[in-house]
Amino acid sequence: MSNKITKTDAEWRAELTPEEYRIMREKGTERAFTGEYYEHDADGVYRCAACGQPLFDSQTKYHSGSGWPSFYAPVAGENVDKAADFGHFMIRTEVKCSRCGAHLGHVFDDGPQPTGLRYCINSVSLEFAGREGEG
Ligand SMILES: [Zn+2]
Protein backbone atom coordinates (compact mmCIF):
# COMPACT_ATOMS: atom_id res chain seq x y z
CA MET A 1 0.00 0.00 0.00
CA SER A 2 2.99 2.32 -0.26
CA ASN A 3 2.22 3.42 -3.81
CA LYS A 4 1.63 7.14 -3.60
CA ILE A 5 -1.25 8.62 -5.52
CA THR A 6 -0.58 11.95 -7.15
CA LYS A 7 -3.32 13.80 -8.97
CA THR A 8 -3.78 17.33 -10.16
CA ASP A 9 -6.26 19.67 -8.55
CA ALA A 10 -8.51 19.32 -11.60
CA GLU A 11 -8.51 15.53 -11.29
CA TRP A 12 -9.37 15.66 -7.60
CA ARG A 13 -12.09 18.19 -8.28
CA ALA A 14 -13.63 15.85 -10.84
CA GLU A 15 -13.50 12.84 -8.52
CA LEU A 16 -14.58 14.32 -5.21
CA THR A 17 -17.79 15.98 -4.16
CA PRO A 18 -17.44 19.73 -3.47
CA GLU A 19 -17.55 19.05 0.28
CA GLU A 20 -14.94 16.27 0.02
CA TYR A 21 -12.72 18.55 -2.06
CA ARG A 22 -13.05 21.41 0.42
CA ILE A 23 -12.06 19.24 3.36
CA MET A 24 -9.58 16.77 1.90
CA ARG A 25 -7.74 19.04 -0.54
CA GLU A 26 -8.21 22.46 1.08
CA LYS A 27 -7.91 21.36 4.74
CA GLY A 28 -11.47 22.28 5.58
CA THR A 29 -13.37 21.08 8.62
CA GLU A 30 -16.89 19.74 8.70
CA ARG A 31 -19.24 21.29 11.24
CA ALA A 32 -19.06 19.70 14.69
CA PHE A 33 -21.72 17.12 15.58
CA THR A 34 -22.92 16.88 11.95
CA GLY A 35 -20.62 14.23 10.51
CA GLU A 36 -21.93 10.94 9.19
CA TYR A 37 -19.61 8.92 11.44
CA TYR A 38 -19.67 11.04 14.57
CA GLU A 39 -21.97 8.65 16.45
CA HIS A 40 -21.27 5.63 14.31
CA ASP A 41 -20.48 2.49 16.33
CA ALA A 42 -20.52 -0.34 13.78
CA ASP A 43 -17.66 -2.82 13.67
CA GLY A 44 -15.32 -2.35 10.74
CA VAL A 45 -12.64 -0.25 9.13
CA TYR A 46 -12.65 3.38 8.07
CA ARG A 47 -10.85 3.95 4.79
CA CYS A 48 -9.66 7.10 3.07
CA ALA A 49 -12.62 8.48 1.12
CA ALA A 50 -10.29 9.64 -1.64
CA CYS A 51 -8.10 6.56 -2.25
CA GLY A 52 -9.44 3.69 -0.13
CA GLN A 53 -6.40 3.14 2.07
CA PRO A 54 -7.42 1.68 5.48
CA LEU A 55 -6.92 4.39 8.10
CA PHE A 56 -8.76 3.67 11.36
CA ASP A 57 -10.35 0.61 12.95
CA SER A 58 -13.66 0.88 14.78
CA GLN A 59 -11.99 -0.81 17.75
CA THR A 60 -9.93 2.33 18.35
CA LYS A 61 -12.91 4.67 17.94
CA TYR A 62 -14.25 6.33 21.06
CA HIS A 63 -16.59 9.10 22.09
CA SER A 64 -14.50 12.16 22.80
CA GLY A 65 -17.40 14.62 22.95
CA SER A 66 -15.54 16.85 20.50
CA GLY A 67 -18.15 16.66 17.75
CA TRP A 68 -15.97 14.69 15.31
CA PRO A 69 -15.17 10.99 14.97
CA SER A 70 -12.28 10.29 17.34
CA PHE A 71 -9.76 7.45 17.37
CA TYR A 72 -6.81 6.79 19.64
CA ALA A 73 -4.67 5.10 16.95
CA PRO A 74 -4.52 4.56 13.17
CA VAL A 75 -4.59 0.99 11.79
CA ALA A 76 -0.88 1.39 11.05
CA GLY A 77 1.49 4.25 11.72
CA GLU A 78 2.64 4.36 8.12
CA ASN A 79 -0.90 4.83 6.82
CA VAL A 80 -1.07 8.39 8.09
CA ASP A 81 1.32 11.31 7.71
CA LYS A 82 1.57 14.11 10.23
CA ALA A 83 2.51 17.68 9.56
CA ALA A 84 2.64 20.89 11.54
CA ASP A 85 -0.36 23.11 10.86
CA PHE A 86 -0.01 26.77 11.80
CA GLY A 87 -3.45 27.82 10.61
CA HIS A 88 -6.15 29.44 12.73
CA PHE A 89 -3.54 31.02 15.05
CA MET A 90 -2.85 27.63 16.62
CA ILE A 91 -0.08 25.13 16.24
CA ARG A 92 -1.73 21.82 15.61
CA THR A 93 -0.65 18.55 14.07
CA GLU A 94 -2.41 17.81 10.83
CA VAL A 95 -3.19 14.18 9.94
CA LYS A 96 -3.11 13.18 6.28
CA CYS A 97 -3.54 9.98 4.33
CA SER A 98 -0.01 8.78 3.54
CA ARG A 99 -1.09 7.41 0.18
CA CYS A 100 -2.90 10.32 -1.46
CA GLY A 101 -2.15 13.21 0.88
CA ALA A 102 -5.82 13.87 1.70
CA HIS A 103 -6.38 16.03 4.76
CA LEU A 104 -8.13 13.94 7.42
CA GLY A 105 -8.12 16.06 10.54
CA HIS A 106 -5.78 16.71 13.46
CA VAL A 107 -4.19 14.73 16.28
CA PHE A 108 -4.08 15.97 19.86
CA ASP A 109 -2.38 14.56 22.94
CA ASP A 110 -5.46 14.45 25.18
CA GLY A 111 -6.72 11.02 24.12
CA PRO A 112 -7.27 7.85 26.14
CA GLN A 113 -4.76 5.10 26.86
CA PRO A 114 -2.95 3.14 25.53
CA THR A 115 -1.69 5.92 23.23
CA GLY A 116 -2.91 9.09 24.92
CA LEU A 117 -3.70 10.43 21.46
CA ARG A 118 -6.92 11.77 19.99
CA TYR A 119 -7.20 11.58 16.22
CA CYS A 120 -9.96 14.06 15.48
CA ILE A 121 -11.09 13.15 11.97
CA ASN A 122 -13.67 14.54 9.54
CA SER A 123 -16.37 12.02 8.59
CA VAL A 124 -16.18 13.38 5.07
CA SER A 125 -12.59 12.10 4.77
CA LEU A 126 -13.64 8.56 5.74
CA GLU A 127 -15.49 5.72 4.05
CA PHE A 128 -16.67 2.99 6.39
CA ALA A 129 -16.75 -0.69 5.49
CA GLY A 130 -18.20 -3.27 7.88
CA ARG A 131 -16.07 -6.19 8.97
CA GLU A 132 -18.49 -8.77 7.62
CA GLY A 133 -18.27 -9.84 4.02
CA GLU A 134 -15.64 -8.55 1.66
CA GLY A 135 -15.20 -5.27 3.50
ZN1 LIG B 1 -5.99 8.55 0.71
User: Is the pLDDT score of 135 beyond 50?
Assistant: no
pLDDT for res 2: 58
Asked if residue 103 lies in contact with residue 125, where contact means CB atoms within 8 angstroms, the answer is yes
Residue 4 lies in a domain: no
Q: pTM of the predicted model, to two decimals?
A: 0.93
Asked if pLDDT for residue 78 goes beyond 50, the answer is yes
Cα diameter, the chain: 45
Q: At 90, is the pLDDT very low, low, confident or very high (cuts 50, 70, 90)?
A: confident
Peptide linkage before 112 cis (omega within 30 of 0) = no
Q: How far is the CA of 28 from the centre of ligand 1 (A)?
A: 16
Q: Does residue 75 lie within any of the structural domains? A: yes
Number of structural domains the chain divides into: 1
Neighbours of ion ligand 1 (CB under 5 A): 48, 50-51, 53, 97, 99-100, 102
Residue in 65, 42, 70, 45 with CA at minimum distance from that of residue 57: 45
Q: Which of 48, 51, 100, 120 is catalytic?
A: 120
**d(CA 44, ligand 1 centre) in Å:** 18
Task: State mean pLDDT over 3-23.
Answer: 96
Residue 44 lies in a domain: yes
Indicate whether 51 belongs to any domain.
yes
State the sign of the Cα–Cα–Cα–Cα dihedral 8, 9, 14, 18.
positive
Q: Which domain holds residue 115?
A: 9-130
Q: What is the pLDDT of residue 88?
A: 80
Check if 120 is active-site: yes
Distance CA 127, CA 131 (A): 13
Whether residue 1 lies inside any domain: the answer is: no
48 in any annotated domain: yes
Would you say residue 135 lies in a domain?
no
pLDDT bracket for residue 6 (50, 70, 90): very high
Contact call for residues 47 and 129 (beta carbons, < 8 A): yes
Q: Please tell me the distance between residue 78's alpha carbon and the centre of ligand 1 in angstroms.
A: 12
The dihedral formed by the CA atoms of 112, 38, 4 and 75, expressed in degrees to the nearest 10: 40
Asked whether 64 and 117 are in contact (CB, 8 A), the reply is no
CATH code at 61?
A: 2.170.150.20
